[in-house]
A and B are shown apart, each in its own frame.
Chain A
Amino acid sequence: NAGVTQTPKFQVLKTGQSMTLQCAQDMNHEYMSWYRQDPGMGLRLIHYSVGAGITDQGEVPNGYNVSRSTTEDFPLRLLSAAPSQTSVYFCASTSGYRENYGYTFGSGTRLTVV
């Protein structure tokens, strides 16, 4: 089925470790973004991309890196994991960055940093 695929679904990291959260979409969407969801905080934007080779920071970018080498993939890298990065991470995409299409979300990655 077409959509946004996130891997892994669950991950436990030790403080200081690095890892990459994968996100792939097969809908040829130009816009992709990463959010983190914390209890009572809603969704906060980490990084986003409006097309291959173009990325920008969101509301909470510190400690995270992204790249967009292809239209389909938008990985999120944690450089040196900290307990404050324990969260649920969602990748989302839309075909119309400037239109009213709404967003398609992945099923999330639940990350625990110990």
Chain B
Amino acid sequence: AQSVTQLGSHVSVSEGALVLLRCNYSSSVPPYLFWYVQYPNQGLQLLLKYTSAATLVKGINGFEAEFKKSETSFHLTKPSAHMSDAAEYFCAVSLPSGGSYIPTFGRGTSLIVHP
């Protein structure tokens, strides 16, 4: 079985500040990991995914995430926040072998960006 925990339902940053959204996972086998972004009144959009080829994954809009097996984490970062980054962010995990391929989503973190 797999699960994912997103720490903090809301994260507030100033424009230009570092963005850090936390995601920890639990799985019995090496997982697939994803970050999705949801802008108001829209569906989810894939931001980036962990493919097991590289631990640092770069996504769209300047976001990146680092897979740390020892910490079972896949935190999302962006060096400098922009007003347009304000959205809901979801971490998701699925198991490519020996488990369910169906992704399990975290409860989401709302990113608030102040001018």
Interaction A to B: yes
A→B interface (CB under 8 Å): 4, 33, 35, 40-43, 45, 48, 58, 90, 92, 97-100, 102-108
- Would A102 and B102 count as touching, CB distance under 8 A? no
B→A interface (CB under 8 Å): 9, 32, 34, 36, 41-46, 49-52, 90, 96, 101-103, 105-108
Separation of A90 and B42 alpha carbons in the complex (Å): 10
Separation of A4 and B45 alpha carbons in the complex (Å): 12
In the complex, what residues of B have CB within 8 A of residue A103's CB?
A: 36, 44, 46, 103
- Would B43 and A107 count as touching, CB distance under 8 A? yes
- Would A90 and B43 count as touching, CB distance under 8 A? yes
Instruction: Identify the closest chain B residue to A110 (Cβ).
Output: B41
- Considering residues B9, B44, B96, B101, which has the most beta carbons from chain A within 10 angstroms of its beta carbon? B44
